[in-house]
Amino acid sequence: MLKIGDIEMKNRVVLAPMAGVCNPAFRLIAKEFGVGLVCAEMVSDKAILHGNKRTQEMLYVDEREKPLSLQIFGGDKETLVEAARVVDEQTNADIIDINMGCPVPKVVKCDAGARWLLEPKKIEEMVSAVVKVVKKPVTVKMRIGWDEDHIYVEDNAKAVESAGGKAVAVHGRTRQQMYRGHANWEYIRLAKQAVSIPVIGNGDVFTPEDAKRMLETTGCDGVMIGRAALGNPWMLYRTVHYLEHGELLPEPSPSEKIRIALLHMDRLINLRGERIAVREMRKHATWYLKGLPGASKIKDVVTQQETRDGMAEVLLTFVRELEREQAAEQANLQQETA
């Protein structure tokens, strides 16, 4: 099983931190779909210290989501350490994660995120400064390197370990790759060999079989799933089940997908109010609809919705028509074969 510090997860499947996605509404759904650990979206150290209302919301952890890892990012030791102290003392999170993978220019320009990947010494210095002032276990999420000429994943993982970090998550891409190309799992294997703290593998796990293959080929202790869970928490549930029982459960029906999409929307509304939540829900709704026959036809209508009732009506009408068509096709097929 996956154990980080004293915290034992019930399985090895982890929901990846995703900005704009991993708020309490989606995290709770992921939890209900069985993941062992959920990660919150990254929060800037300076925003934490500034403490505005939006940031306070980002630090909120519902009891039902636990165990939960809350990710912070920053480039200055002083503010990073202070922000970690706030997360340690004032939040219900179980683990403090430090972002060392974010590739976006706005973040790396501040010496934060993936920028650290070039300096194992800085990693050790920053992580140990944080570890010294907090009680919760500290972990790091990193990419394998800056670009293909600067891949220091083993040294970087060792730096986390020697600084007192309790686990490291490794996304098998460089910063330069952004989200292009493939995640190279070989580097996850090398990181696992380099340290004795748990290593969580990440990158391009799109099916339950991918998750099993990653665990087997890299020896990693946990598998972190990001994009494959967008609009598809069943991926998490099916992966947990596949790893435990070797059985592939069927994909959800269209109406089941819409049922969870509506639950997701209602939880977002509780969190943010209807106007903001429905706008946020537009992207989630298109993810929930992905792969359903005819979904592309209603994409534009979905992205224009302003109210809960409007969005619910669009989704429910779509699924009712789809299921009617599917039932008619089935009846035709039965008539032809009779």
Ligand X SMILES: Cc1cc2nc3c(=O)[nH]c(=O)nc-3n(C[C@H](O)[C@H](O)[C@H](O)COP(=O)(O)O)c2cc1C
3-state secondary structure of 145: strand
39 is catalytic: no
* Neighbouring-strand partners of residue 174: 145
Residue 202 in contact with ligand X, rule: CB under 6 A: yes
Among 23, 44, 91, 99, binds ligand X (CB under 6 A): 99
Helical (H) or strand (E) element with 58: helix 53-58
**Of 6-14, 81-89, 221-229, 234-242, which part binds ligand X (CB under 6 A)?**
221-229
Least separation in angstroms between residue 101's CB and ligand X is: 5
Least separation in angstroms between residue 322's CB and ligand X is: 27
Residue 27 in contact with ligand X, rule: CB under 6 A: no
Round to whole Å and give the CA distance between 280 and 64. Answer: 23
CB-wise, 303 or 326, nearer to ligand X?
303
- Are the C-beta atoms of 13 and 222 separated by less than 8 Å? yes
Q: Give the per-residue contact string, 6-25, with ligand X (x = CB under 6 A; - = no).
A: ----------xxxxxx----
Which residues have a Cβ under 8 Å from the Cβ of 113 and sit 6 or more positions away? 73, 99, 100, 101, 102, 103, 104, 107
Least separation in angstroms between residue 334's CB and ligand X is: 40
**Active-site residue, selected from the candidate residues 22, 102, 110, 220:** 102
Write out the E strands in the chain. 3-4, 7-8, 13-15, 37-39, 43-44, 68-73, 95-100, 138-145, 167-174, 199-202, 222-225
**Residue list 110-169, contact with ligand X (CB under 6 A):** 141
Tokens 């706030």 found at: 86
**Residue list 278-337, contact with ligand X (CB under 6 A):** none
- Are the C-beta atoms of 74 and 110 separated by less than 8 Å? yes
Least separation in angstroms between residue 41's CB and ligand X is: 5
CB-wise, 35 or 322, nearer to ligand X?
35
Residue 41 in contact with ligand X, rule: CB under 6 A: yes
**Residue list 59-78, contact with ligand X (CB under 6 A):** 71
Residue 38: both structure tokens together: 């959920």
Active site residues: 102
Task: Using CB under 6 A, list all residues that contact ligand X.
Answer: 16-21, 41-42, 71, 99, 101-102, 141, 171, 202-205, 225-228
